[in-house]
Amino acid sequence: MTKVSLTTFTLIYSTLILFIYYYEYYYFNKGCPEGWTPFGTRCFKFFDSKLTWTNAEKSCQSHGANLASIHSIEENKFIVDLIKKATGENRQTFIGGHDAVQDNLWMWSDGSVWDYANWGKGEPNNAAGKENCLEINFPETLWNDVPQTLTLNYICSKDASLKVTLGDLQCRCIPNNN
């Protein structure tokens, strides 16, 4: 029987775990649950039910997600395309932006940095002083601030994750007695 040092075993085991991780991540849906669509390092899902912004955020949280934040023109286009694929139209849909803490200080419900915006002409306008939530597709790919009481479809996002199972991996470890 060949003896394998604990250090060698650890190196081989770590390499195997990394291989499984990258194989699953890059070749199988990038770590997204069934029904979610990968983009970058996150997973997105359009929900066809209509809720208020607050209830949509709660629904996303029940799925381990938040209303979607958008950080680039490419991500904005991806979300618009995802909505259009699900609905057949550029339907107005809640995303995770809000200025409920302080007027005109927009932030994302997932806590990420507000580093991109795609406002429609004259937006955000906080009409009647009650528009603290964000919708996309007003019109087409642009954003609009809307009241929290409005009910819309919504899109959630969460970080891609990876579930690695090694099944019945068995080994016999012989400590290095050096």
pLDDT in tens, 115-144: 999 999 999 999 999 999 999 999 889 999
Radius of gyration of the chain (CA): 22
- Name the more confident of 103 and 4: 103
Residue entry with tokens 């007027």:
103
- Rounded to whole angstroms, the Cα distance separating 65 from 163 reads 17
* Cα three-residue angle 85-89-93, rounded to 5 degrees: 90
pLDDT in tens, 141-166: 999 999 999 999 999 999 998 654 45
Mode of pairing for the β-strands spanning 93-98 and 152-159? parallel
Mention every residue, 6+ apart, whose C-beta is less than 8 A from residue 101.
Answer: 107
pLDDT in tens, 56-108: 999 999 999 999 999 999 999 999 999 999 999 999 999 999 999 999 999 99
Q: How far apart are the first and last CA of the chain?
A: 19
CATH superfamily of 34-159: Mannose-Binding Protein A, subunit A (3.10.100.10)
Q: List the domain boundaries for the chain.
A: 1-32+162-178, 34-159
Mention every residue, 6+ apart, whose C-beta is less than 8 A from residue 137.
Answer: 80, 83, 90, 91, 92, 93
> Among 139, 151, 145, which residue's Cα sits nearest to residue 126?
145
pTM of the complete model: 0.76
